Amino acid sequence: MTKRALIAVTGGIAAYKAADVVSQLQKTGVEVNVIMTKNACEFVTPLTFEALTGKKVYTDTFDYSSDATIKHIVLAQEANVFVVVPATANVIAKMAHGIADDMVTSTFLAATCPVVVCPAMHANMYANASTQANLKTLEDRGMTIVGPGEGRLASGEVARGTLSPVDEIVSAVLKVLE
């Protein structure tokens, strides 16, 4: 049986690393679909992921497909794992509080499969009490949190907040799929 991962890319500088996550998962035989927030498209284009997967990337909940399906429902139902990489503080907060105002968060709420969340943001944003409480909420709900790592941030500082290494993310996803 083919394992299916739904990769949700959000609007952080680490969005470009999601392409490597997609590529590495596909090398292991996982079938990958990608959805993106509009902010993610400011960092990397859907075309990148369409070239990697050979599948349409959805960025808009109201972007209806030619087969007349409701994509945020269908993609959620087909997924064996939902992976948010990178997971910004904004999307983490929306996930924790059930806000569904874009393709990623609407699909997340429709998903019944395991969820892997890969935080990446500035260290101060990560350390903020709100972000920590939101991550704890997601963890308490059974979601797997991978990272963040420590390293050079977009600000030039070296601190906790970088996206975890791709191999760690891929390993966590494969473990969830076992």
The pLDDT of residue 66 is: 66
Handedness of CA 14, 15, 16, 21 (dihedral sign): positive
The pLDDT of residue 64 is: 67
- Using one digit for the tens of pLDDT, what is the confidence trace for 163-176? 999 999 999 999 99
For each of the domains in the chain, give its residue range(s) and CATH number, in order of start.
Answer: 4-177 (3.40.50.1950)
On the question of a cis peptide bond just before residue 86, with omega within 30 degrees of 0, the verdict is yes
d(CA 84, CA 36) in angstroms, rounded, equals 10
The pLDDT of residue 155 is: 83
Residue 67 has pLDDT above 80, yes or no: no
pTM of the model: 0.94
At residue 166, the 3 state secondary structure works out as helix
Percent of the chain whose predicted confidence (pLDDT) is above 70: 97
Sheet-wide strand order for 31-36: 31-36, 4-9, 81-87, 115-119, 144-145
